[in-house]
Amino acid sequence: QKEVEQDPGPLSVPEGAIVSLNCTYSNSAFQYFMWYRQYSRKGPELLMYTYSSGNKEDGRFTAQVDKSSKYISLFIRDSQPSDSATYLCAMIWSNTGKLIFGQGTTLQVKP
Amino acid sequence: DAGVIQSPRHEVTEMGQEVTLRCKPISGHDYLFWYRQTMMRGLELLIYFNNNVPIDDSGMPEDRFSAKMPNASFSTLKIQPSEPRDSAVYFCATSGGPDTADEQFFGPGTRLTVL
């Protein structure tokens, strides 16, 4: 079993839709949870960063962490074609330096 | 700042040849990470350095892979001899610290094809 599980998709939605992306993990020692966005042929870039359980909102993006269920989500409201990318969840436990990535979910937002 | 710089951007080589990938970190960043990305295995951490010292190389797949960081401005990842299964995109990422959980900034990657 992988430490972090993420459905690779692809996921195709119409413009304006609400998108839900999810990851599950097995290691309860993970403390920091991140979402990276990767455009085609580019390096990943940090989108959202959360430490504790609960919600964190940044514009159209909301990151949700449920440590009891070992489940994290990223919601995108009013999705735009420019949101078309691969979204990777990532997690780390302090002082190890190891960022463990999910497989990534490829999202396409159609105009 | 120009961000993390990697070279070459693309590399095509034949099996058995030596391959050297290069990375210039963001100035002042103390942590440097090398990742490999494939469709099958996703993004995997190979090795990381703190202040030019290798901290964890447990992700390096085998002895054919080696990484160095001779100074704060430069790191290399070398594969010798290369094999077709090494074909992947290799990313270098750096972080300003002081905590290893700080944001990592990725370079554009080197797309390696081993024939």
Q: Is the pLDDT of residue A94 over 80?
A: no
* Residue A55 structure tokens: 């919600």
- Say yes or no for a CB contact (<8 Å) between A97 and B103: no
Q: Sign of torsion, CA A34 B52 B88 B84? A: negative
Is B13's Cβ below 8 Å from some Cβ in A?
no
Mean pLDDT of B27-45: 92
Alpha carbons A67 and A3: distance in angstroms, whole number? 14
Provide the mean pLDDT of chain B: 93
Tell me the nearest-neighbour CA distance from A18 into chain B, angstroms: 26
Contact between A67 and A59 (Cβ < 8 Å): no
Mean pLDDT of B103-109: 94
List of residues 6+ apart from B28 with CB closer than 8 A: B96
Mean pLDDT of B27-49: 93
Q: What pLDDT score does A78 carry?
A: 97
Mean pLDDT of B28-52: 93
Across A50-59, B51-60, B82-91, which has the greatest mean pLDDT?
Answer: B82-91
Mean pLDDT of B74-90: 97
Query: How confident is residue A99, by pLDDT bands cut at 50, 70 and 90?
Result: confident
Is B45's Cβ below 8 Å from some Cβ in A?
yes
Q: Is the pLDDT of residue B43 over 90?
A: yes
Residues of B in contact with A32 (CB under 8 A): 101
**Closest partner CB to B100 (pick from A46, A92, A100):** A92
Query: How confident is residue B101, by pLDDT bands cut at 50, 70 and 90?
Result: low
User: Measured between alpha carbons, how far is residue A61 from residues A75, A78, A97, A99 in Å?
Assistant: 6, 9, 26, 21
Alpha carbons A9 and A89: distance in angstroms, whole number? 14
Across A91-105, B5-19, B94-108, which has the greatest mean pLDDT?
Answer: B5-19
Question: What CA dihedral angle connects B58, A92, A84 and A107, to 10 degrees?
Answer: 80
Alpha carbons A66 and A83: distance in angstroms, whole number? 24
pLDDT in tens, A69-83: 999 999 999 999 999
Q: What pLDDT score does B98 carry?
A: 60
Residue B99 CB neighbour total at 10 angstroms: 13
Contact between A107 and A10 (Cβ < 8 Å): yes
Provide the mean pLDDT of chain A: 92
Q: Is the pLDDT of residue A39 over 80?
A: yes
Q: What pLDDT score does A52 carry?
A: 78
